[in-house]
Structure 1
Amino acid sequence: MKQPSLFGNTLDSPLKQFEDIHNYLYANDSLSEQQVLEEIVKILFIKFYDEQRERKSFYISDSESLKINSGKDQSSFLNRINQLFEETKQKYDTYFDSKDRLKLSIQSLAFVVKKLQVINFKNSKNDANGLAFQKFLGRHAKGGRGQFFTPDPIIDFCVEIIQPKPDEKIIDPACGTGGFLFSSLRYIRKNYKDIDIQNYVQNNIFGIEINTRISQIAKIKFLIECNADPNILCSNALIDIKELSLKYKQQANLTNLEGYFDVLLTNPPFGTQGKITNYELLSKYELGHKWNKHGKDYIRSNNVLKGQVPEILFIERCLQLLRPGGRLGIVLPNGHFENSSLEYLRRYIKDKANILGVVLLPQETFIPYGTGVKVSLLFLQKKNGEVINRKQVFFSKIIKTGYAGNKNGSPIYRKDKYGLVIVENGQKIIDEDFSEVVHDYNQF
């Protein structure tokens, strides 16, 4: 496994562009951190829409800049960008409301357009812009509603364990800003040199995200990275599977999501902010019912629970989405592996899937990303009727994540016996266990 990319230092130029924009808006427009990010995403969508057009409108001329700076007539620039945003909303109507407006002052809008007009995302020959935006998001995007963003080393580790193939359909039903999907794309690009990346993204990458603004970020990341449009659906992934399929049919011409996907990677929202109590929704799930113990087995009753934490419902939904033989990597709280009250859940999982591996993460893993919850990684393969003589399950434990367990998440580097940082090929080596665990898993 390659060293985690979270701490790479080769992104200064494009990253500086994004940081300059963020800092200017935050200082001059009285917007919150979240609002600044939302406005940046809007303008990036406008920029991408304009790059698809023959006649370009995303620019600011020198004369317009002078007028804006001197407080003179600003209508030509402002009208052009506002009209461009109206067209952008129609183009990406699943990500924008018709009432959405640009909230930036004319001076800030001019600053951002001037910064971005010299960049051509569509014809970019490398992924520096995508890497820069990914790192920029790591600094400024925050989770909520029980969500927290997954550290890149964890994401890359899961992808290396699952090893997606170019002909496989991949989905994350709680995709957030698209971390698992993005890493899967990079894995495919690295290991299958001749693949048509745009075709791969448009036909093999799928994600579901309940938050409109976060789904916008997921989409824009792929546009920046490879000028390709992934199948990101803004929806609650836990609604009835038929209703969810209908939504995807309208967006991506999929008729039935059940059993459609080969690979599923996800970090679902945890129940730290409360349980799901909607009776109609819970009644659709086996794990939304009470389970009674009979001998060594558990039998589902007809009694719907008063409430269930979302990540348990996500386990069932994930297994629904996978084809027989499909592979799953999921982040779960440690209590789901240990609590006696959840023995029915573990029995349910073993009845539906073969357990490939469990990897315990240190408590500080997610502290830089907003939570200190103890979690592990569970890797499964959905049963397909064949008898598998795999009696052993891979177990491992990550001790060194490569970054400090504090709010800054500063990188930790490997040192020699003299206490000097080890450098190979001009790069400082991150002190992490993920690479070794991937090797051990492949040898298991």
Structure 2
Amino acid sequence: METKRADIVIRDKDHPDSAYIIIELKKPRLKDGKDQLKSYCHATGAPISVWTNGGAISYYHRKDPNYFVELTDIPAQAETLADVLREDFRMADLVKKFNEQTERKSLRQRIEEMEDEVLANAGVDVFEEVFKLIFTKLYDELESTRNETRQLQFRNTGQTEAELNQKIQTLFDKAKDKWEGVFSDSDKINLSRSHLSVCVSSLQDYKLFNSNLEVIDEAFEYLVSKSSKGEKGQYFTPRYVIDMCVKMLDPKEEEFLIDTAAGSSGFTVHGIFHVWRKILEDEGLTASHLFTAEKKPPRCEDYVRDKVFAIDFDEKSVRVARTLNLIAGDGQTNVLHLNTLDAERWDETTDNEYWNDTYNEGFRKLKKLRADKSGYKAFEFDVLMANPPFAGDIKESRIIHKYELARKTSGKYETAVGRDILFIERNLDFLKDGGRMAIVLPQGRFNNSSDKRIREFIAERCRILAVVGLHGNTFKPHTGTKTSVLFVQKWNDVKGSEHYCPRTDDYNIFFATQRKSGKDNSGEKIYATRNGFLLRDEHGHEIVEHDLFNHENLTEDGIAEAFREFAKKEKLSFATDFFA
């Protein structure tokens, strides 16, 4: 096969094996050879090409594998391509460019394309490398939002691949300093220079801040589920299910909130947003987007720093959750990497030096909420929301023997117990008297005759507030397991107490079933339409078709609104804001 050779190649000064400028020379009056020149650039990765026939001369910049733009000149010896391009690109420009896109791909779709094009055979951990890039870009957007004159740095603006690599590495290091405890000090971006260049070009025009949090969460769910999440039957909860739970339990600014099986921390982040709306309204401020880079009022940051906690045993999920909570709390978070079901070993875990460096501040605050300072069994949380793993059993006798629900009717212990069963008991231990909980459980726990003892255990300790049956497609494509959300409030017979919930044998329970699925049988979201057009919220996000709650007064009242009316009639102690 014939090997074609370029006429002149100028090498990258930092990496002499890499082409920097390729020059194609033609005889006078000839005009061909430009496509051939571009193919040379594509094959070598050279960012600059020059075509000339001795009279006419053209300069090109290869921005993407098959996308070239004309230049007015090439860099002088002491210049870079970025000096020639002189791109002036601030946050306002990114917002404008993002909003002008007519066919907008989701962040997940962009990641899938990157995986297909460069990451699949890059010999790297895809989750780690994409996570680093998103983490870095979030930091870049935050800095340029808070300083409107600052140029965005997460852009391929004509540097050599070596220069771009150095710029992004430096930006990543600054992000690590800003949001500690997600990556170690020694972590670096491990993509090759050419792969990094393609990935940056793919992500640079996608706006992460001021977007629907679901955009980022969907991307992380895809990445985490590919590596570990689905193995234990733990799947991220759809955001519309989370919002229903938050609206029904109505967490307040003065209350302590926790998720004991946090995943990406959707319950706590949306709980934060719910409380923030109240704070901003109280201070006469507009809520606008809640996942934003703008500085929040001190009350908002204080709430995240002092009142909100999350725990998960999956290290990757914890790091995702910490990132989202760190941003929400402007550098503060109480997301902890612990095994909720094995509190006996927490002291062992916390003795680890690296763990201590990362999580000690949040763990110190968690310990203050213990009901019994001698151990980690009981806590004093006001609100708990969780979707624990509902596949796989716990078989360690050491753990099983700590739980009453692990006993048979004979008094002997089971040899294996479902994780979700142990989470029911453990979660109730986290709540103070009068505290309330929403927990996603397999439908069978509510009607299997073999699970009667579980239902009796719950009823003995709590008032059952509500049971909401979710559609069978809710957790597709991961699983078709039918689930329901159980809402309870722990009995509290102390009259005059803030969370008064007097024990009674005769009370009403709210039951509801989701009719509009939100997803089709393949697990793809179904979006609401009106008059043949997609229904969007005030920020341009498509609205999922469901009947769980009224979305910003754009859809009909749903299950959450019906429960609020029920709560008012029942005069539930936490329903005071429902009368507003």
Output the TM-score relative to the length of structure 1: 0.77
Give the aligned partner of residue 384 of structure 2: 264
**CA 1:151–1:106 in structure 2 vs 1: closer, same or farther (change >3 Å)?**
same
CA distance in 2, matches of 1:129, 1:421: 20
Give the aligned partner of residue 360 of structure 2: 250
2:160 is aligned, of 50, 59, 67, to 67
Deviation (angstroms), 1:114: 6.5
Give the aligned partner of residue 297 of structure 1: none
* 2:526 is the alignment partner of 1:410: yes
* 2:137 is the alignment partner of 1:27: no
CA distance in 2, matches of 1:173, 1:433: 27
- The answer as to whether partners of 1:404 and 1:411 remain within 8 angstroms in 2 is no
CA-to-partner distance for each residue in 1:313-350, whole Å, 9 max, x for gaps?
A: 10111011111111100000111111111111111111
Deviation (angstroms), 1:398: 1.2
- The answer as to whether partners of 1:403 and 1:412 remain within 8 angstroms in 2 is no
CA distance in 2, matches of 1:410, 1:115: 27
Opposite residue 160 of structure 2, the aligned amino acid is K
* 2:342 is the alignment partner of 1:239: yes
User: Residue 379 of structure 2: SS of its match in structure 1?
Assistant: coil
Deviation (angstroms), 1:11: 7.8
User: Residue 475 of structure 2: SS of its match in structure 1?
Assistant: helix
Opposite residue 108 of structure 1, the aligned amino acid is H
Deviation (angstroms), 1:225: 5.0
Worse-matched range after superposition: 401-410 or 281-290: 401-410
CA-to-partner distance for each residue in 1:61-112, whole Å, 9 max, x for gaps?
A: 989x5432xxxxx3x6656755776787788775446775533121232455
Give the aligned partner of residue 190 of structure 1: 277
Which residues of structure 2 form unaligned runs of 5+? Answer: 1-97, 144-149, 284-296, 351-355, 371-377, 495-501, 550-557, 567-580
Deviation (angstroms), 1:218: 1.3
Q: Where is the helix percentage greater, Structure 1 or Structure 2?
A: 1
1:304 is aligned, of 413, 418, 426, to 413
CA distance in 2, matches of 1:169, 1:39: 34
User: Residue 379 of structure 1: SS of its match in structure 2?
Assistant: strand
1:277 is aligned, of 395, 411, 421, to 395
Which residues of structure 1 form unaligned runs of 5+? Answer: 1-9, 69-73, 293-300
* 2:488 is the alignment partner of 1:398: no
Give the aligned partner of residue 4 of structure 1: none
CA distance in 2, matches of 1:209, 1:217: 11
- The answer as to whether partners of 1:41 and 1:220 remain within 8 angstroms in 2 is no
- The answer as to whether partners of 2:110 and 2:203 remain within 8 angstroms in 1 is no
- The answer as to whether partners of 1:175 and 1:266 remain within 8 angstroms in 2 is yes
Deviation (angstroms), 1:132: 3.5
User: Residue 395 of structure 2: SS of its match in structure 1?
Assistant: coil
**CA 1:186–1:241 in structure 2 vs 1: closer, same or farther (change >3 Å)?**
farther
Q: CA RMSD in A?
A: 4.0
1:376 is aligned, of 481, 484, 494, to 484
CA distance in 2, matches of 1:33, 1:339: 47
Give the aligned partner of residue 290 of structure 2: none
- The answer as to whether partners of 1:133 and 1:221 remain within 8 angstroms in 2 is no
Give the aligned partner of residue 295 of structure 1: none
CA distance in 1, matches of 2:564, 2:426: 28
CA distance in 1, matches of 2:124, 2:164: 26
User: Residue 304 of structure 1: SS of its match in structure 2?
Assistant: coil
**CA 1:405–1:158 in structure 2 vs 1: closer, same or farther (change >3 Å)?**
farther
- The answer as to whether partners of 1:414 and 1:431 remain within 8 angstroms in 2 is no
Opposite residue 274 of structure 2, the aligned amino acid is Y
**CA 1:407–1:119 in structure 2 vs 1: closer, same or farther (change >3 Å)?**
closer
**CA 1:344–1:33 in structure 2 vs 1: closer, same or farther (change >3 Å)?**
farther
CA distance in 2, matches of 1:413, 1:119: 25
Deviation (angstroms), 1:42: 2.1
User: Residue 306 of structure 1: SS of its match in structure 2?
Assistant: coil
Opposite residue 194 of structure 2, the aligned amino acid is Q
1:323 is aligned, of 428, 432, 436, to 432
CA distance in 2, matches of 1:186, 1:402: 22
1:42 is aligned, of 124, 132, 145, to 132
State the percentage of identical aligned residues. 29
Worse-matched range after superposition: 309-318 or 138-147: 138-147
Opposite residue 67 of structure 1, the aligned amino acid is T
- The answer as to whether partners of 2:114 and 2:202 remain within 8 angstroms in 1 is no
Give the aligned partner of residue 433 of structure 1: 547
CA distance in 1, matches of 2:468, 2:131: 35
Output the TM-score relative to the length of structure 2: 0.60
CA distance in 2, matches of 1:337, 1:61: 52
**CA 1:157–1:278 in structure 2 vs 1: closer, same or farther (change >3 Å)?**
same
**CA 1:442–1:192 in structure 2 vs 1: closer, same or farther (change >3 Å)?**
same
Q: How many residues align?
A: 407
* Higher Cα radius of gyration: 2
* 2:571 is the alignment partner of 1:442: no
Deviation (angstroms), 1:243: 2.4
Deviation (angstroms), 1:311: 0.4
Deviation (angstroms), 1:242: 7.5
User: Residue 134 of structure 1: SS of its match in structure 2?
Assistant: helix
- The answer as to whether partners of 2:379 and 2:432 remain within 8 angstroms in 1 is yes
Deviation (angstroms), 1:393: 1.0
Worse-matched range after superposition: 162-171 or 383-392: 383-392
**CA 1:93–1:290 in structure 2 vs 1: closer, same or farther (change >3 Å)?**
farther
Worse-matched range after superposition: 283-292 or 309-318: 283-292
Give the aligned partner of residue 6 of structure 1: none
Opposite residue 265 of structure 1, the aligned amino acid is M
**CA 1:130–1:429 in structure 2 vs 1: closer, same or farther (change >3 Å)?**
closer
Give the aligned partner of residue 455 of structure 2: 346
Give the aligned partner of residue 5 of structure 1: none
Opposite residue 257 of structure 2, the aligned amino acid is I
CA distance in 2, matches of 1:394, 1:33: 53
CA distance in 1, matches of 2:430, 2:383: 9
CA distance in 2, matches of 1:106, 1:129: 31
- The answer as to whether partners of 1:172 and 1:264 remain within 8 angstroms in 2 is yes
CA distance in 2, matches of 1:238, 1:49: 34
